[in-house]
Chain A
Amino acid sequence: MKITLTIDGVRYDDDVEPRLLLVHYLREHAGRTGTPIGCDTSNCGACTVLLNGKSVKSCSVLAVQADGASVTTIQGLAAGNGSGEDGWHPLQKAFHEEHGLQCGYCTPGMILAAVDLLNENPNPTEEQVRDGLEGNLCRCTGYQNIVRAVLKAAGSTTGAGVQA
């Protein structure tokens, strides 16, 4: 099937099998390997991206279902090429500053889930942050510094949400 997607600001036209998962399209067709895969059942959230600005688990969306949509991955979140800290999204900065990651495997999904969370609720309480991240599992951090990072970014993200 022919599909057209915009991924991190770049348009892709492709012909894909209907069964191709969006996450495999991102990783293996578009070369956006910043989005990892952690499970088969949409529980872990490692593959979370923004689809038309809303968080989704890209392992549970078919590429053909995303036809015409705009996708933001972790690689499209920073301004510029992301190599300089200056261009990082406030959540990328906050995760770094608050040590909200260890192995980093959950981090892309966790950050994009947090972007969505702050878009919905720019000034969340700790409990709202914890509930809002219920779909993203981390095995390293015990979540404490992730929650701190999101709360910290909440103070600085006004107007910094991602519109895709």
Chain B
Amino acid sequence: MIPASFDYTRPGSVEAAVEALAADEEAKVIAGGQSLLPLLRLRFAYPTLLVDLGGISELRGVRDAGDALEIGALTTHYELTRDPLIAAHAGLLAQAAGTIADPAVRHRGTIGGALSHADPAGDLPAVVTALEAVLVVTGPGGSREVSPAGFFADYLTTTLAPGEILTSVRVPKLGDGWGYHYEKFHPTAQAWAIVGVAALARRSNGHVAEARIGLTNMGSTPVRAGAAEAAAAGAEASAAAMRAAAQRADEGTSPPSDLRAAADYRRHLARVLTGRALARAAGI
């Protein structure tokens, strides 16, 4: 399968990229291309122009920004799994990135690409949701910051305006007492998640003081399991208590029914996996 024709530009700066993108309504951004190229090959998309961010060195790498990490949009999944700052302050991101697709895809795929692609079955959208990351977006009018909830609009759809590019992801450093776990349930190793649970838990005095849970593939966007978070907060740090809190994990979600699973099974999985992820995150 072969993509339809398109023009291609590889700007050297974010400004130039924004300019190129703003000039052509049918233009698309390409970073690692691991989501886009299969779509182009199957001719599910017909962009007139690809704006390749690959030449913009300022979008690469992870920087310590005080109480947060500033992760360039071009940082690859592979780099997320290897970066010492991520390991120290946002280990959930490293763990989840290590479950994406396979090593070759992880060498090319980027965090900015994965988030902008906005596939609710992707792993990183739920992870940045749980991490309460800030997404930094740059467009013709300058930069703006947006929360994950404000960024993910629908299935494969973001709130990025024409000409806007996701340039970095600011992830607050996890403080003392926080643990994390990404529980991914997928039928084969390289398959997408049927359901994934990104859980963070802060433990204090034998209790879970605070929990944050992002769910993969439980709706058209990544969702927070708010009811389960509330139920976990203040609960005893035990497997039974986490399992009990997790009974509310699917509240407010609207999971799809598709080839892989029916919605009711997804709801069931969300509850079971949330219990397991919370227990791991809380060090139980």
Contact = CB atoms under 8 A, between A and B. Distances in A.
B102 interface: yes
A158 interface: no
Contacts of B41: 21, 40-41, 59
Interface stretch (A49-57, A78-86, A89-97): A49-57
Interface string B120-154: 00000000000000000000000000000000000
B205 interface: no
Nearest to B106: A135
Contact of A40 (B38, B52, B104): B38
Contacts of A124: none
Contacts of B6: 18-19
A134 B189 contact: yes
Interface string B52-66: 101000000000000
Interface stretch (A4-12, A60-68, A148-156): A60-68
Size class of the contact patch on chain B: 20 to 34
Given A41-B38, A132-B103, A135-B103, A62 B8 contact: yes
Contact of A41 (B8, B42, B78, B108): B42
B74 interface: no
Contact of B10 (A42, A51, A64): A64
A135 B101 contact: yes
B98 to A, nearest CB: 9
A74 interface: no
A113 B105 CA distance: 11
Contacts of A56: 104, 107-108
Contacts of B108: 56-57, 60-61
14 contacts: A18-B8, A21-B37, A40-B41, A41-B41, A48-B104, A55-B104, A62-B33, A64-B8, A64-B10, A117-B103, A134-B190, A135-B103, A135-B105, A136-B102
| Pairs A-B, 4 closest by C-beta atoms | A135-B102, A18-B8, A134-B189, A40-B1
